[in-house]
Amino acid sequence: CMKPTPNQRKYLHTSALWAVFDSLTSTYIIAFSLLLGASNIMVGVLGAIPFIATFISELLGAKLTEYWGRVPIIVCTYAIDKFMWILIALVPFLTFKQPLIMVVLFYFTAYFCVSLREPSVVSLVADIVPPEARGRYLGRVNKATGIVAMITMLVAGFFISAIGDASQTAYAILF
């Protein structure tokens, strides 16, 4: 069993933090949208956004990596992604004529950034993990992120229930 390098540990920790973030945001976006009055069609649109954004952005992300470099893409897309979630959290408190449309646009932009950076992240992982250890290492990362995500989702569910299922503030805190 190979001892992880400092960069591999950093990637594991970053992946665990991502699992927390994704569990607090993408997992609860549907419940949040229902609170804002989303129809079944809107729920379907929100559910499809990760797939649509990935389909559109991954090839572009690979090309951008070739021309711009991995680190700038990762840093910029993380910043935009997180800013979109701040905007989503603020939607109920701002005066948009169509708040659900704004949620869809912000969520699409956030997920587009997630998918846009994925080729850069995968390329970095290939640099920090030797080919013969990659499967075992990524299996360990996936197991850790899965456990972290399950715990986070459960805690968030209890949190929302404790504050009140209809509380826009509860979702704003999560996001």
pLDDT of residue 165: 65
Q: CA-CA distance, 49 to 73, in Å (whole number)?
A: 21
pLDDT one-digit tens code per residue, 91-128: 999 888 999 999 999 999 999 999 999 999 999 899 99
Contact by Cβ (8 Å): 77, 116: yes
pLDDT one-digit tens code per residue, 5-55: 999 999 999 999 999 999 999 999 999 999 999 999 999 999 999 999 999
More confident residue, 121 or 166: 121
Alpha helices (H) along 25-130:
29-35, 40-68, 70-90, 99-128
**pLDDT at residue 73 above 70?**
yes
DSSP state of 91: G
Contact by Cβ (8 Å): 112, 56: yes
Contact by Cβ (8 Å): 92, 31: no
Q: CA-CA distance, 126 to 105, in Å (whole number)?
A: 32
Contact by Cβ (8 Å): 103, 32: yes
Contact by Cβ (8 Å): 16, 147: no
**pLDDT at residue 153 above 90?**
yes
